[in-house]
């Protein structure tokens, strides 16, 4: 896949957690809810139907108690290697209400750890810029740190 810097954001890191634990953290609601949002934000609900067209939905809660539901669907599921999801489509590939992004999580063995790449595709430069200004790198990086810490206890 060719990255377009005008439209795409990427977070790449080598982490000291094996790929199978990264996969479980991303694909099991009870695990995903423990790390998915940077603290002090929390995830109050998560639904995963791990198949192309299946639902990927979370509800995030701000420290002030506001809830932000988000729902989309999986486009590609390659066990232990890749997840592709979008909010442009809902479950069963129904058009989404307010599309914002497509996320791609690539998981590859790297020694005893994992080469982790999160790529987020946007439909225009304004959406990419907005996501970057919202704190994409810090937020997704913090969530990844939380995933690593959580996975080490799994």
Query: What is the model's pLDDT at position 18?
Result: 97
Contact 48, 54 (CB under 8 A): yes
Q: Is residue 57 part of a domain?
A: yes
Per the structure, the complete domain to which residue 115 belongs is given by: 8-151
Q: 75 and 84 in contact (C-beta within 8 Å)?
A: yes
49: domain CATH number?
3.30.530.20
Residue 2 included in any domain: no
Per-residue confidence (pLDDT) for residue 136, from 0 to 100: 94
pLDDT in tens, the chain (154 residues): 789 999 999 999 999 999 999 999 999 999 999 999 999 999 999 999 999 999 999 999 999 999 999 999 999 999 999 999 999 988 898 887 777 899 999 999 999 999 999 999 999 999 999 999 999 999 999 999 999 999 999 8
| DSSP-assigned beta bridge partners for residue 14 | 115
pLDDT value, residue 97: 74
Residue 1, domain member (yes or no): no
Q: What burial class does residue 119 get, using C-beta atoms within 10 Å of its C-beta: 0-12 exposed, 13-18 middle, 19+ buried?
A: middle
Please tell me the predicted confidence (pLDDT) of residue 98: 74
Strands 113-121 and 8-15: antiparallel
123 lies in some domain: yes
- Select from 85, 96, 100 the least CA-distant residue to 132: 100
pTM exceeds 0.85: yes
Number of domains in the chain: 1
- Please report whether residue 121 resides in a domain: yes
Number of helices (H) and strands (E) in the chain: give both, helices first.
Answer: 4, 7
Question: Does residue 125 form part of some domain?
Answer: yes
Instruction: State the pLDDT at residue 94.
Output: 87
């Amino acid at each position: 896949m060719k990255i377009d810097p005008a439209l795409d954001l990427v977070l790449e890191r080598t982490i000291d957690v094996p790929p199978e634990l990264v996969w479980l953290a991303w694909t099991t609601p009870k695990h995903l809810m423990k790390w998915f949002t940077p603290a002090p934000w929390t995830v109050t609900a998560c639904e995963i139907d791990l198949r192309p067209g299946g639902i990927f939905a979370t509800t995030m809660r701000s420290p002030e108690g506001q809830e932000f539901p988000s729902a989309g669907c999986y486009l590609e599921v390659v066990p232990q290697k890749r997840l592709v999801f979008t909010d442009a489509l809902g479950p069963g590939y129904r058009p989404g209400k307010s599309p914002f992004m497509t996320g791609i999580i690539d998981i590859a063995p790297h020694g005893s750890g994992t080469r982790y790449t999160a790529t987020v595709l946007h439909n225009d430069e304004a959406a990419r810029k907005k996501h970057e200004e919202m704190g994409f790198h810090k937020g997704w990086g913090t969530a990844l740190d939380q995933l690593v810490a959580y996975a080490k206890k799994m």
